Amino acid sequence: MKVVEAICGRRSVKHFDPNHRLSQEEVTRLLSTVILSPTAFNIQNWRFVVVQDPALRQEIRKVAWNQAQVTDASLLVILCADLRAWEKDPARYWRNAEQPVRDFLLPAIKAYYDGKPDVQRDEAMRSCGLAGMALMLAAKEMGYDSCPMDGFDYAAVGRLINLPPDHIISFMVAIGKGIKPAWPRGGQLPLTEVMITDRF
């Protein structure tokens, strides 16, 4: 499948075959692709909570407006980010780089994030957004449908998954075999309204 086909074909599917599960090999292949998503300074701050426990899925569904895709999808991935990834042994993010590159980047990482909680949070959301789209497109290429979700109680889900205090949830994605098509597209705004050349 071509990338453009995956982008055009990806839709937010709400109804999944509850009897289908991805194999562990498929999950590994999918997530191994997703971790190639870009992050600023290569800090790889995303963390992917793959919820496999059916009882935990039921608990999450209760705090997610009872949306069926939480329990019925083959895979539920909660995209989180470590807000402090930038300071947790940052040399490992550039271990394969030449020394002059490391000498430049490691102090730059600290200068960019240290004491800037808004920057840390913004970067978490950007990183998870990029990874989430990669996740959905890779799933589409593998023949699966997906649904990005933010309709849930973030604090409650955080408690259910034991989210560390220095982490944040961005959104979650349900993936599986769709059994009903997505709603028709609501209507895209014209390109002339959303594309600005040079200045507003």
Give the model confidence (pLDDT) of 124-153 as tens digits.
999 999 999 999 999 999 999 999 999 999
Sequence-ordered alpha helix ranges (H) in 35-168: 54-62, 69-72, 99-113, 117-141, 154-160
- Strand pairing of 167-176 and 145-149? antiparallel
Which pLDDT score, from 0 to 100, does residue 31 have? 98
pLDDT digits (tens, 9 = 90+) for 4-26: 999 999 999 999 999 999 999 99
pLDDT of 171 above 90 = yes
- pLDDT above 90 covers a percentage of the chain that reads 98
Mean pLDDT of 180-195: 94
Q: Was domain 3-181 assigned CATH 3.40.50.300? A: no
- Does residue 154 carry a pLDDT above 90? yes
The structural domains of the chain, with segments of one domain joined by +, span 3-181
The whole-number average pLDDT for the span 98-102 is 96
Per-residue pLDDT averaged across 43-48, rounded? 98
List CB contacts of 103: < 8 A, sequence separation 6 or more. Answer: none
Residue 48's φ and ψ, nearest 5 degrees, are: -110, 110
pLDDT reading at 197 higher than 90: yes
At what angle are helices 99-113 and 117-141 packed, to 10 degrees? 120
Which helix (H) or strand (E) segment holds residue 33: the answer is helix 24-34
Q: State yes or no: pLDDT of 172 exceeds 90.
A: yes
The answer to whether residue 177 scores a pLDDT higher than 90 is: yes
CA 22 to chain centre: 18
Band the pLDDT of 1: cuts 50, 70, 90: confident
Q: Determine the pLDDT at residue 54.
A: 97
Lowest mean pLDDT among 67-76, 82-91, 181-190: 181-190
Contact 182, 14 (CB under 8 A): yes
The closest of 161, 149, 123 to 12, measured between CA atoms, is: 149
